[in-house]
Amino acid sequence: MTTQHQTLSKALSRGVSYLDITPTMFREATEHYRAIAGTLQSHGLDADIKPYGSFGTGTVVRPSTDEGTGSYYDLDILAECHRDECGWTTPSSLREEVDGILEDDGTYAKMIEGSTHQCVTLAYAETDSRPAFRLDLSSGVHMDLPLGTDVAFAEEAVNLAWIDPDEWKGSNPKGLCKWFNDQNLRFRVYGLEARRKSLFEENPGAYASVEEIPEDMDRSALQRAVQVVKRSRDIYYRRAREDRAPSSCALMVLVTRFAEMLPQSSDVTTIVESFVEGCQAMRDGRFAIPNPAYPEDLAANWEQEKVDRFFNWIDELKLNLQADLSDSAKRDAAIDAILGSGTSDRLVRDKIFDPAPEPVRINRNVKPWRL
C-alpha cells in the first residue's frame, strides 16, 4: 500500500467524520423519534417507529446547501402502524390520522415544517450542543407476502401511505437497512476496538468510558466509504448546478455491492476506488441498480441525461482520488472537491495536512465569447 493511498484514506475518513452526526445529536434524535412513538400511542395509534435510510445505516452526512455552516441533517423515520380489525382503507386515511395527531399536539404542531406526497417533516431548531435537523416521518402498514422479495427481508416490507394522489407504495426501507447492516458486519468487526477508542478520544465528555459508546456511533470503512461517496455526489451536483442526482440508497447499494469481493481489512480509499471502477464498468451495459431487499430497480426512472451526468461525476471522483497528494495545492483542491470547501483547511488545523499555498482569487471581469 502506497503512502499516497494511506494519506488519502486518513484524510477521507477524518474529513467525512466532520460531517457526521455528533453523539449528542444521535442521542437527541433517538429520543425524539421514540417520543413521537409515545405520542402516537397516547392517541390510541399503535405504531413501531424505526429509523431507516442513512440514520438506520450509520451513513448520515450533512447536506451541502452551502458547503459550510447553516445546513441541516435530514433523518428518515418510518411509523409502521398496526390495527387489528379492518385497518385503513386508503393511504390518506392513515396519513390523516398520523399527521392529525401531530398537528393537534402542542409540541409537534409548531415543529411541522411541511407535509409532502411521501412524508411529514418535523424541524428541530439548532441548539448550542447540536446543529439543526429534520425528521422526515413516513407512515405505512405491514405488507404481507411481497412477491419476489428475498425471504431474509420479506418480514420488513411495508406499504407506504402516499397522498395526493393516494397510493400504497410497496417498499422495504427497513429491509434495505438490514441488508446493508448484514453486509457491513464483517467490516465492522475489523479494527472495532481501535475505532471505538479513537471515537472516545475525539469526543471528550460525550462518553464516560469506551464501553458506553453506542454501537450505532461506530463507523466501519464501508460506512465511511458510503458517506464519502454521498458527500462527493452532493458537492459535484451542486457545483454542476444539476438537480438530477442519484439517490442515497442507490449509491449505498452500489458501494456495498462493489465491496462484496473486497477483504474485510479494506480501507475507505480501496472501497471508494472499487465503487468507481465498478460504476465505470457499467458504462457500456444496461444501466440498472436492483434493490436487494425489494423487487425494484432503483435506477428505473433514470433518463439518459441523468445516466450521462452520473458517469461524468464518477470520472470527476476518479480524477480527485488520483490527485497527486504530494502537491499540496492539488491535494487541497481534490479533498475539497470530494468533501466540500473548507475540509482541507480543517485537516490542516488538525495537523493531518501541512498548509498549502493560498490560491489566487479569480475575478470574473471578462466573460468568454466567440465571434
Partner 1 sequence: MQDCLAATHALRKRHNSLTCTVVYIGDEAPYARVDGTIRLDGEQQGVRLVADYELSIVVSEDFPASVPKVRLSDGAPATYPHVDADGTLCLGVNGEIAMAMNNSAVPLIAFYDEVLLPNIYAIEYYRRYRVMPFGDRSHGSQGVLEFYREFFDVDDESAVCQLLRAAAFRSPYRRRGKCPCGSKLRATRCHANHIDQLRACVDKSILMDDLALVANAANITKTKSAKESARLRLKGHRKT
Q: What is the nearest approach in angstroms of partner 1 to the Cβ of residue 355? A: 14
Pair 158, 94: CB distance under 8 Å: no
**Is the Cα dihedral 259, 262, 264, 268 positive or negative?**
negative
Interface residues for partner 1 in 298-317 (CB under 8 A)?
309, 312, 316
Q: What is the nearest approach in angstroms of partner 1 to the Cβ of residue 12? A: 17
**Is the Cα dihedral 331, 335, 341, 342 positive or negative?**
negative
Q: Given the rule CB under 8 A, which of 87-95, 110-118, 296-304, 360-368 is the region that contacts partner 1?
A: 360-368
Looking at the Cβ atoms of 167 and 316, the one nearer to partner 1 is 316
Looking at the Cβ atoms of 67 and 156, the one nearer to partner 1 is 67
Three-state DSSP class for residue 78: strand
* Bond prior to 357 in cis (omega within 30° of 0): no
Site pattern 203..242 for partner 1 (x: CB under 8 A): ---------------------------------x--xxxx
Pair 287, 295: CB distance under 8 Å: no
Looking at the Cβ atoms of 205 and 368, the one nearer to partner 1 is 368
Report the candidate in 130, 178, 181, 138 with the shortest Cα–Cα distance to residue 158: 138
Under rule CB under 8 A, residue 360 binds partner 1? yes
Under rule CB under 8 A, residue 346 binds partner 1? no
Looking at the Cβ atoms of 286 and 364, the one nearer to partner 1 is 364
Report the candidate in 142, 155, 137, 175 with the shortest Cα–Cα distance to residue 34: 137
Q: What is the nearest approach in angstroms of partner 1 to the Cβ of residue 313? A: 9
Under rule CB under 8 A, residue 185 binds partner 1? no
Q: What is the nearest approach in angstroms of partner 1 to the Cβ of residue 328? A: 9
Position among 3, 209, 304, 363 found at the interface with partner 1 (CB under 8 A) = 363
Cell output for 192: 472495532
Under rule CB under 8 A, residue 370 binds partner 1? yes
Interface residues for partner 1 in 317-336 (CB under 8 A)?
319, 327, 329-330, 332-333, 336
Q: Rounded to an integer, what distance in angstroms lies between the CA atom of residue 122 and that of residue 358? A: 41
Three-state DSSP class for residue 257: helix
Position among 110, 286, 351, 361 found at the interface with partner 1 (CB under 8 A) = 361
Cα separations in angstroms, 81 against 38, 260, 308: 13, 34, 40
Q: What are phi and psi of 296, to 5 degrees?
A: -155, 155
Report the candidate in 11, 294, 314, 255 with the shortest Cα–Cα distance to residue 148: 294
Instruction: Give a three-class secondary structure readout of 300-346.
Output: CCCCHHHHHHHHHHHHHHHHHHCCCCCCHHHHHHHHHHHHCCCHHHH
Segment holding 159, helix H or strand E: strand 158-162
Report the candidate in 191, 177, 161, 284 with the shortest Cα–Cα distance to residue 226: 177
Pair 295, 149: CB distance under 8 Å: yes
Looking at the Cβ atoms of 83 and 318, the one nearer to partner 1 is 318
Looking at the Cβ atoms of 155 and 316, the one nearer to partner 1 is 316
Looking at the Cβ atoms of 209 and 365, the one nearer to partner 1 is 365
Q: Given the rule CB under 8 A, which of 112-120, 135-143, 217-225, 353-361 is the region that contacts partner 1?
A: 353-361
Q: What is the nearest approach in angstroms of partner 1 to the Cβ of residue 321? A: 14
Site pattern 240..279 for partner 1 (x: CB under 8 A): xxx-------------------------------------
Q: Given the rule CB under 8 A, which of 176-184, 262-270, 288-296, 361-369 is the region that contacts partner 1?
A: 361-369
Interface residues for partner 1 in 43-72 (CB under 8 A)?
67-68
Position among 44, 106, 205, 359 found at the interface with partner 1 (CB under 8 A) = 359
Count the neighbouring beta carbons within 10 Å of the beta carbon of residue 262.
18
Residues at the site binding partner 1, with contacts judged by CB under 8 A? 67-68, 236, 239-242, 309, 312, 316, 319, 327, 329-330, 332-333, 336-337, 341-342, 357, 359-371
